[in-house]
Amino acid sequence: MSRQVIQSANIYFSPTGTTRKIIRSIATGLALRPREMDITLPAAREQHFNLEKEELLVAAFPVYGGRLPKLALEVFQNLPPGRRPAVAVVVYGNRAYEDALLELFDLCQKKGYYVVGAGAFIGEHSYSHVMGRGRPDPADEESARCFGLALRHSLLGNDRVLSDKTLLTTARRPYRKYMAKSVISPETSRKCVSCLVCVKNCPAGAFINSDPKNIDREKCILCAACIKFCPEKAKSFNDDDFTDDMAALAAANLDRKEPVTYLP
Ligand SMILES: Cc1cc2nc3c(=O)[nH]c(=O)nc-3n(C[C@H](O)[C@H](O)[C@H](O)COP(=O)(O)O)c2cc1C
């Protein structure tokens, strides 16, 4: 490859697993030696992140309220600066990705990384089994694989870098405000058998004393991992306003959105 890229560092945050599926499909198409850096759980975010010379950074995050999850900033702070190629990827729940992809592009640039490709993919919405139901599906995974392959060819063939102009057609700076912090948190029904799957999969370490029925509302990021992974279906958001809002959001976003990718 013209840039001598032989390995990719695939860093991702994926509470309910859709972002993980997308980055893995991209990695298949890229066909570089992959190094997975799964930063979903708190312990993984405490480690020091090194990036090797001649390594392509592929960073993937879910979209939260049209932005990146706040912890993306923390993670980028811990990445070493320097000139290296990077790929920005976001995964959203079939509503909209808004400023999230531009934000990730900007985070890369601030580190000195030059963005060689970007993409927005669709995953089943964390709060719904209707919005983006079952996605990424095989067609999405194939799109992600093809994107990886196109990136590989692009890296091989030229030295071009993606401009933010393409992303600014759908996003803006300053970015939209973060979603207001909701006062709700998942509730636990009597079906809970204390198997601790929720505790083990909580990206925020929000269970007090590892008790599956005791969630620290301040820490909870409302990612819905505990709801989606509970084998007993014992967790849910029971707040009526929240449930109504989600039903309305789902009704307004039934149309299937397709992945969008950007190459220089
Ligand atoms: C707090 C929160 C906010 C979200 N905001 C959006 C949004 O603005 N637009 C959208 O389409 N999906 C949104 N989603 C859905 C996720 O982006 C989507 O389900 C994604 O696939 C989750 O990734 P994961 O499976 O890797 O956790 C939101 C989810 C959560 C938990």
Written out in words, the top-level CATH class of the domain with range 7-174+258-262 is alpha beta
What tens digit of pLDDT does each residue of 194-210 get?
Answer: 999 999 999 999 999 99
**Residue ranges, CATH 3.40.50.360, the chain:** 7-174+258-262
Q: What is the mean pLDDT of residues 30-35?
A: 94
pTM, full prediction? 0.97
Q: How far apart are CA 137 and CA 132, in angstroms?
A: 9
Paired sense of beta strands 114-122 and 187-188, if any: unpaired
Q: Can you tell me which atom of ligand 1 is nearest the CA of 123?
A: 21
3-state helix, strand, coil in the chain (%, to 5): 30, 20, 50
Q: What is the mean pLDDT of residues 218-223?
A: 95
Whether 104 is in the pocket of ligand 1, judged by its Cβ within 6 Å, is: no
Q: How many angstroms separate the alpha carbon of residue 127 from the centre of ligand 1?
A: 8
**Residue ranges, CATH 3.30.70.20, the chain:** 187-238
Find where tokens 């071009």 sit: 160
Whether 223 is in the pocket of ligand 1, judged by its Cβ within 6 Å, is: yes
Give me the pLDDT at residue 1, please: 46
| Max Cα distance, the chain (Å) | 59
The tokens of 89 are what? 């990827």
Q: How far is CA 88 from CA 185, 194, 225, in A?
A: 30, 38, 23
Interacting residues of 71 by C-beta distance below 8 A, sequence separation 6+: 13, 45, 221
Q: How far apart are CA 46 and CA 137, in angstroms?
A: 32
63 touches 92 (CB < 8 A): yes
What tens digit of pLDDT does each residue of 140-176 get?
Answer: 999 999 999 999 999 877 778 999 999 999 999 999 9
Fold of 187-238: Alpha-Beta Plaits (3.30.70)
